Amino acid sequence: MDLTTLFYLSLILLSGLIFGRAVKILKLPNVTGYLLAGLVLGPYCLKVFSVEMVSELELISEMALAFIAFSIGAEFKISYLKKIGSMSVIIAVTAAVLATVLVVISLVLIGVDFETALLLGAIASATAPAATVMVVKQYNAKGPVSEMLLSVVAIDDAVALILFGFSMAVVNTLKNPGQASLSMSVVMPLIEIAGSFILGFILGVIFRIPLRYFKKESNRLIIITGFVFLASAAATMLGLSPLLFCMSLGATVVNFVDSAKSIFSLADQVTPPLYLMFFVVSGAELDITILPKIGFIGLMYIISRFLGKVIGSSVGSIITKAPETVKKYLGFTLIPQAGVAIGLSLLASQKLPEYAATIRTVVLAATFIYELTGPVLTKISLKKAGEITE
């Protein structure tokens, strides 16, 4: 008997629900249970889901990440940004840059060639917003660390894209002196970021039009879903960043739509099953067989990136005179790494295939470790900061 896609979707939902409840016994966040459900049932453990099936469910990841980015955009309310000033930008930049610098230095010191170290360093700057947002939402965390965290991870992707674009430009120039245009290689990521924000803003302005004619919540939920999916699709078709595009859409809605609060409340109604499926599928994609291959290079990458994020966020907090809890705990919430890092590693592998094996193995193995430990560290940090009570 052939099992249908609907059967697998139901299995994903129910297994995620069961594992999410099971990890509560250990006082772990739901997202850890979802990831474990995917890992156990995935192609590298019990093989209930095949590699082909997991690949076919990629659409779930695209939809979930679109909504995650849209919800992060809500943190860019102008009144709030005026209140914190440049604080979140400076912290995001210092955390990303120091993670990059420490990874590059540590890898070069153990004998990794400079080009590979530079690319891995740039990838290290990225932080996965999905797991972080899930933990904040699950525990209804409120306070300076939670607020700063959502702002920082929103900015983080833009910083990571710039650093990666610059690193790719440097590596291309070193490998092909005289052939690659360093200036164009650096400018292209900036064009991608600017284009994503500008077109996201335009779509956000258009978003207001159907709201005038559709007042019922059910209709507005359809509008929200349609526009979020449109933003992600348009970004992909135009070669822009879906995350930044959807984030810009959310930021425009929160600032220029009168009913913004109810809009985001409605969006929260559609996302729980979507997020659950996303994390179960992400867990199934984690290839546990690569862990023995990670070696000393991977270990140095994991440790140096962790130190870079923690120390970098503390330095940024000191510079901006952020609250004491932000200085002490924010860095430990910036550990998760997934979609953006994997995407950048794939791009590096395609453009520079000679570095593909090392880069992909290190990033995938690190993702496996970060995605399982990151949500737990986020919960512990927010609890110590006094922003969750459970």
CA distances 46 to 3, 126, 230, Å, are 16, 31, 36
pLDDT in tens, 36-90: 898 889 888 888 888 888 878 878 878 887 887 788 788 777 776 676 667 778 8
**Domain boundaries of the chain, sorted by first residue:** 57-384
Mean local confidence (pLDDT), 171-200: 71
Contact 36, 18 (CB under 8 A): no
Model confidence band, residue 178 (pLDDT cutoffs 50, 70, 90): low
Query: Domain 57-384: which CATH class?
Result: mainly alpha
Alpha carbons 131 and 68: distance in angstroms, whole number: 10
Q: How confident is the model at residue 378 (pLDDT cuts 50, 70, 90)?
A: confident
Q: Is the pLDDT of residue 155 over 70?
A: yes
